[in-house]
Structure 1
Amino acid sequence: MERRTPRSARTPGGWRAGRPGPDGATGDRHWRLDARSAGFCALGFAGLTLLLDWGSGGLTVPRADLWAVLGVLLFTVLRPPRVSAGDGWLAVRGLVRERRVCTDALVAVRQNGSIAIRLVLRDAYGGSVAFDPGILVANPLLWHRLDAGARRSRERGTLRQGESTLRLLGERIDGGTARDVLRASGLE
């Protein structure tokens, strides 16, 4: 008998996050946990401020609305983008829209920022995405998809900027994976 995954564990496209789907797509396996944590933080903030305001005796309907709006605003700031990748593409979905790049036709790869580091990918068709490179570190399957596409871009000659950025990111990911394997096997 075939074991099926419950619908609640599947993404809207039908594939499970962090595992290849029927079309070969894979997603960030930690996204649900991070989004849930953002929701709990926002809910905790709104609840705590409502409770403190009520305890001080100054809670009114407009003030309660203000705390609720600030809680929703906090959630929109904390909610991480959803990163997924397939054969030849990488997508980053925010609150409102999804951006995609063709990893087979990458033109530039850059790292921006010193505190909040963002990896910016641009393709030959004008597509651009930006996301935290820590997502790739935590999801080796996403890194594999991006790396395979970047190699094809190098072979085709479209990748003009960012080979050193990709190499350094690859070394960071491979080193982390090796440490995890050693730790799991008890050799560390």
Structure 2
Amino acid sequence: MGRRFTHAAAGSHDIHWAGERRSAIGVAFLLFTALFAMDAGFGGLDVTRGALWTGLAGLVFVILHPPRVSVRPGLLSARGLLGTDSVRTDSLVSVRWSDGVAQRMVLRDTDGGRVEIDPTVLVRNPAMWRHLDADTRTSIRRGTLLCGSTALRQLAERIDRETARTVFKVSGLQ
């Protein structure tokens, strides 16, 4: 069961979320418009087919809609369309990569909380990574993080590479 996230404490959120949500809306709308126009152009549009195209566009939106990931000291939350999942980042038990088409990082805490996020969110948002990194170090010191040091090290290396690449690009050295 997800825990509620309040914005009272200093924290960070995914600064790219709004753009990704707009993209999901745009793709779903374009699909709906194209299917609707094509069907109307061929003279096959009726209420049933219109409802089918609306449902298909809605499904595409649900699939593409990104969760809103937020991090504050001690807590990481991912709010999706159906609810919010949270983990105590200062008492993590495991951090793992999930296999599949899209790479995901799965975090679990001592209270049984579980959050699955796209690690790119952390790569693109250094403030979020700093909060998470500090809290995972707390989990390691407390001895609760039993599995996940490798996944965190891989993510830290990826973030360091992206940061260096950005510095070189901005300074004109690339």
TM-score range, shorter chain: over 0.9
1:173 paired residue among 152, 155, 159:
159
Alignment-mate amino acid for residue 81 of structure 1: P
Unaligned runs of 5+ in 1: 1-12, 14-20
1:63 paired residue among 49, 60, 65:
49
Alignment-mate amino acid for residue 38 of structure 1: A
CA RMSD, Structure 1 to Structure 2 (Å): 1.2
Change (3 A) 1:22 1:98: closer
Aligned equivalent of 1:39: 25
Deviation digits for residues 70-102 of structure 1, max 9, x if unmatched?
111110011111100001110011111001000
> Quick check: 1:106 aligned with 2:92?
yes
Aligned equivalent of 2:3: none
Change (3 A) 1:126 1:22: closer
Alignment-mate amino acid for residue 107 of structure 1: V
Residue 65 of structure 1, CA deviation: 1.4
1:87 paired residue among 70, 73, 76:
73
Q: Which stretches of structure 1, 4 residues or longer, exceed 2 Å deviation after superposition?
A: none
Aligned equivalent of 1:122: 108
Mapped partners of 1:63, 1:115: distance in 2: 31
Mapped partners of 1:66, 1:79: distance in 2: 20
Mapped partners of 1:164, 1:151: distance in 2: 13
The TM-score normalised by the length of structure 1 is 0.86
Mapped partners of 2:108, 2:137: distance in 1: 15
Unaligned runs of 5+ in 2: 1-5
The TM-score normalised by the length of structure 2 is 0.93
Mapped partners of 2:60, 2:154: distance in 1: 33
Alignment-mate amino acid for residue 19 of structure 2: L
Moved more, 147-156 or 109-118: 109-118
Aligned equivalent of 2:136: 150
Residue 115 of structure 1, CA deviation: 3.0
Aligned residues: 169
